[in-house]
Amino acid sequence: MAKLTDKALCAALEGTGNELGNISMYCVRRRGHLLLALPAYRDTALITLKLYQPQVFLGKAVAGAVRLLVRAGLHRLLPRKLMVVRSNGPLAVLASDRAKVGFLLGNPEADTRRALMVHKEGGGYVVDKVGVDQKSRASVMAELEVIKTLPDKLTGIPVLHGEHEGDTWVSYATDFVEGTSPCKGDDEQVLGVLVDWMNGAETVPLSETEQWQKMTDYASRHENREIWEVLQKSATLRIKAVVTHGDFAPWNIKLSADGAVAVLDWETGCNEGPAGWDWLHYMIQKGSLVDNRSASETLKLCREWAKSGKGKSFLDEAGWGNQIEPWIGTYLGYSSWIAGFDRDELLSSWMVNQRLDS
């Protein structure tokens, strides 16, 4: 299935049916693709801009420049796009005040390109995640079902504000969350979220988790015998089964000035997964994608953290204890084989270390 172009995604957000009017949006592009559609209304434009959480300097500089334009009321000098409001579309159905609506458009290279639509509701703002084609609709609905299964009152869990379905689109709404992505100095606060998710959780053999069973099935159908023979040694380890996000990365987390934490984007989440994998994912994503570390450097960073006081305490609580290599290896296997992340270099580097230690 072809990836959603900017034009197709915007048309889908407009919807189908009778024309009810139109609104002017002001466009911010990234690498030639539409990233943000900002309304003329300044407060909502600033809220919309906050949906974008860049991790590298260039993105942060662009966001800062646009923020200055919005605060000065000059963002209307940006390229203008007229969006038509149709009777069966997100703009007509979700937003009571269409002048106070903004969009963050998903990654144009993703197979499941969704959009985040922020709009005024009552005295505050809510954010709808909207899927408009077969894959993105399925993804949005799957994420909604995950959120519904999560325990109430856990740190960072989103609060739902309803769901909608049109002829060609689906959405669900959560509170707009103030805050910014965590930086290095926030590691302790972010780790505290995962500690909270472990409270009261039971330990189970790793082999009894759904994640292990999926890895077993994958290994039976693919040529990865050497890696799997090493990983199988971890089958009997007893690990806490906890709420697991699956893509626990800085850009999916918001920290507010008052200390609140929000964890976003639950499409890869589940109610029971191996404790500790989310933190490893966080360190690896940050190390490789933000800090541009090599595979060996990233793994060295993870091992050093695991041997620190905080690392030992966390891994003891999770059930891994001093089993650092099984913690890393099983995560990498699942992340690569099942979750679909690019872990080839990391797995190769990890296997080199296992051969040296054997």
What is the percentage of the chain residues whose pLDDT exceeds 90? 78
What confidence score (pLDDT) does residue 304 get? 97
Q: What average pLDDT does the segment 279-305 reach?
A: 96
Q: Tally helices (H) and strands (E) across the chain.
A: 13, 13
What confidence score (pLDDT) does residue 278 get? 98
What confidence score (pLDDT) does residue 11 get? 93
Place of tokens 């966080």: 282
Asked if residue 2 has pLDDT above 70, the reply is no
User: Following CA atoms 261, 267, 208, 236 in sequence, which dihedral angle do they give, to the nearest 10 degrees?
Assistant: -60
Check if the beta carbon of residue 102 is closer than 8 Å to that of residue 39: yes
User: Is pLDDT larger for residue 96 or for residue 159?
Assistant: 159
How many Å apart are CA 234 and CA 318, to the nearest integer?
14
Query: Torsions phi, psi of 350, nearest 5?
Result: -65, -40
| Average pLDDT value for the chain | 93
Structure tokens at 50: 């906050």
HEC assignment per residue over 80-104: EEEEEEEEECHHHHHCCCHHHEEEE
What confidence score (pLDDT) does residue 125 get? 92
Check if the beta carbon of residue 74 is closer than 8 Å to that of residue 37: no
Asked if residue 224 has pLDDT above 90, the reply is no
Q: Residue 142's Cα: distance from chain center in Å?
A: 14
What are the respective helix, strand and coil percentages of the chain, to the nearest 5?
45, 25, 30
What confidence score (pLDDT) does residue 358 get? 64
Asked if residue 295 has pLDDT above 60, the reply is yes
What confidence score (pLDDT) does residue 109 get? 81
What confidence score (pLDDT) does residue 291 get? 92
What confidence score (pLDDT) does residue 329 get? 97
How many Å apart are CA 189 and CA 195, to the nearest integer?
10
Structure tokens at 74: 């000059």
Q: How confident is the model at residue 39 (pLDDT cuts 50, 70, 90)?
A: very high
Write out pLDDT tens, residues 170-201. 999 999 988 999 988 899 999 999 999 999 99
What confidence score (pLDDT) does residue 27 get? 96
Q: How confident is the model at residue 355 (pLDDT cuts 50, 70, 90)?
A: confident
pTM: 0.91
Check if the beta carbon of residue 118 is closer than 8 Å to that of residue 176: yes
Which has the closest alpha carbon to 200: 246, 148, 259, 243? 243
Q: How confident is the model at residue 35 (pLDDT cuts 50, 70, 90)?
A: very high
Place of tokens 């920290």: 255
Structure tokens at 304: 């050093």
Task: Please tell me the total number of residues recorded for the chain in this structure.
Answer: 358
Asked if residue 1 has pLDDT above 60, the reply is no
**What sign results for the dihedral spanned by CA atoms 269, 177, 88, 11?**
negative
What confidence score (pLDDT) does residue 33 get? 92
Q: What average pLDDT does the segment 336-356 reach?
A: 93
Write out pLDDT tens, residues 71-117. 999 999 999 999 999 999 998 888 888 889 999 998 888 878 999 99
Check if the beta carbon of residue 150 is closer than 8 Å to that of residue 222: no
SS3 assignment, position 25:
strand
Alpha helices (runs of H) in the chain, residue ranges in sequence order: 6-14, 42-50, 57-71, 90-94, 134-149, 187-198, 210-221, 225-231, 277-285, 295-306, 309-318, 324-337, 344-357
Q: What average pLDDT does the segment 51-80 reach?
A: 94
Q: What average pLDDT does the segment 248-259 reach?
A: 92
What confidence score (pLDDT) does residue 122 get? 79
User: Is pLDDT larger for residue 206 or for residue 258?
Assistant: 206
What confidence score (pLDDT) does residue 106 get? 84
Q: Residue 316's Cα: distance from chain center in Å?
A: 27
User: Is pLDDT larger for residue 331 or for residue 53?
Assistant: 331
Q: How confident is the model at residue 123 (pLDDT cuts 50, 70, 90)?
A: confident
What confidence score (pLDDT) does residue 94 get? 85
Kind of pairing, strands 170-175 and 124-131?
A: antiparallel
**Close Cβ partners of 126 (under 8 Å, ≥ 6 residues apart):** 118, 119, 161, 173, 174, 175, 176
